Amino acid sequence: MRTFIAIEIPAEIKTALSGLQTELRRAGAEVSWTKPENIHLTLKFLGEIEQRLVNEIERACVETVAEFQPFKLDLTGAGVFPKARQPRVLWAGLSGEMETLLAMQKQLEALLAAFRFKSNEKAFRPHLTIGRVKSNRHARELAARAEAYSLPALSFDVREIVLMKSELLPAGARYTALAGIELNEK
């Protein structure tokens, strides 16, 4: 099964991101939009795994979050990867207690390396993917609209991480939580 580890985003923020998507659609670019209900912060994409690994991955998640108390993240700005001239990913940014987030993600990476999951070659750049650009048609206008858009000042508390199953269907991806692991509430 195809899996990843993520932080779920509250409905209020998904609604705000849906508004951003509505504005960006006006650019007329060819984009595969992330369904608002599917927007999340990916901590680690695991890819295809065997069912027998689920419990061990969950234990690695439990061990990771045991060292972290809940922390706050803020929704901040939007943009594109890799560059405005040829965007491939539309994203909404995050700020807040980034040192905690980065430390937790790094620890998770290290523990999952024991299961032979490769470490990401690129540095972890926390973001919420809101769409994937399919062509360069109207891409510059799309990037300009993303960077000019003013997201509402919203924040949320990270209280758990979730091991998710991803099924790729003709109507789009369907995510199912396999395990939710709460941070340490000391």
Does 152 sit behind a cis peptide bond, omega within 30 degrees of 0 on the bond before it? no
Q: What is the rounded (10 degree) CA torsion for 125, 19, 149, 32? A: 60
Distance between CA atoms of 91 and 29, rounded to whole angstroms? 15
Distance between CA atoms of 142 and 29, rounded to whole angstroms? 7
Return the residue matching tokens 């799309």: 142
Which residue intervals of the chain are DSSP H helices? 11-25, 54-65, 98-113, 139-148
Look up residue 22 and give its amino acid: T
Query: Does residue 138 have an active-site annotation?
Result: no
Q: What angle do CA 155, 160, 161 make, to 5 degrees?
A: 105
Neighbours of 101 (CB within 10 A): 22
Distance between CA atoms of 69 and 157, rounded to whole angstroms? 10
Return the residue matching tokens 């340490």: 184
Q: Catalytic: which of 31, 34, 36, 40? A: 40
Q: Catalytic: which of 14, 44, 127, 145? A: 127
- Positions annotated as catalytic residues are 40, 127
